[in-house]
Amino acid sequence: MGTWHSSFLIPPGGSMRALGIPSLVLTATMLFGCSSDDPAAPSGTPADGPLVYLTFAGNANDQSGNGNHGTVVGGSMATGALVLGNNATDRLSLPSTVMDGLGNFTFSAWLRMDTFRNENHEVISGANAAQDNALIFWYREQTDEWLVGINNGSSAFATNASIEDGEWHQVVLTRSGTTAHLYLDGTALGGGVSVAAGALDIDPTGLIFGQDQDVVNGDFAANESWAGAMDNLRIYDRVVSAAEIQTLAAEAH
């Protein structure tokens, strides 16, 4: 049996013929899942990529190819990031189908806090008619804690106030079964915390970022808004690897 050699290059737009099957032409897209000259497919992008990827380059269009475009109310994307004010209006919504029914998942984004008011700063709010906190992830400025909750529960990660500097920080939240982990700038924030079991149950219009819902898609309050900026937002239907967490923390935004 012959030896397979991986040390070959396919030039941009080029191809090669399959050995033994001269009629079959192999392209970079067929081999690696992206064109060798495709700038939208950065090196290291996993085959099982995100369900949604928002770069906020003037809009909230999904760059993952899955068509999960966001809707922004208020806020601004003029600087290539989503900037949300300290009010009860500014927010991002995504199709609930992005997270509804998920068991394990990963949320990743660059976050910047712009307003400091010694209250809560909501990042993710997922709600259904019976539970306004079917999924919630936020920072509590009063106690310098990040918290996560599923099915109206909540658990706090280790105390860390580094987000309160007005600078960008890369944040990754993972959920595997009944355990959640948080990574800030590529470093785990303490150990895992316990969360409720079961798949997420999020109603249509009930997946919001930057505000806290007390009813589905409503009853927002300024003192629970994110009041800052978000960029390079991704959601996966799996737990990303340690290597991927480091790649996310090192990317430009």
pLDDT for res 152: 87
Tell me the C-alpha distance between 213 and 220, whole Å: 6
Let me know if residue 37 belongs to a domain.
no
Q: Which two tokens stand for residue 127?
A: 């709600």
Let me know if residue 56 belongs to a domain.
yes
Let me know if residue 124 belongs to a domain.
yes
Which ranges of the chain does DSSP label H, i.e. alpha helix?
28-32, 242-250
pLDDT for res 47: 53
* Amino acid symbol at 73: V
Let me know if residue 26 belongs to a domain.
no
Give residue 98's domain range. Answer: 52-250
pLDDT for res 182: 98
Let me know if residue 7 belongs to a domain.
no
Q: Which two tokens stand for residue 130?
A: 């019976």
Let me know if residue 213 belongs to a domain.
yes
How many domains in the chain? Answer: 1
pLDDT for res 10: 39
Let me know if residue 44 belongs to a domain.
no
8 Å CB contact between 196 and 211: no
Q: How many CA atoms lie within 13 A of 110 on its CB side?
A: 20
pTM of the full structure: 0.81
Tell me the C-alpha distance between 182 and 156, whole Å: 10
Domain with residue 188: its CATH number is: 2.60.120.200
Q: Which two tokens stand for residue 35?
A: 């064109």
* Cα separation values, 88 from 7, 69, 184, 246, Å: 56, 22, 27, 34
Let me know if residue 170 belongs to a domain.
yes
pLDDT for res 107: 99
Which residue ranges in the chain fall short of pLDDT 70?
A: 1-47
pLDDT for res 48: 87
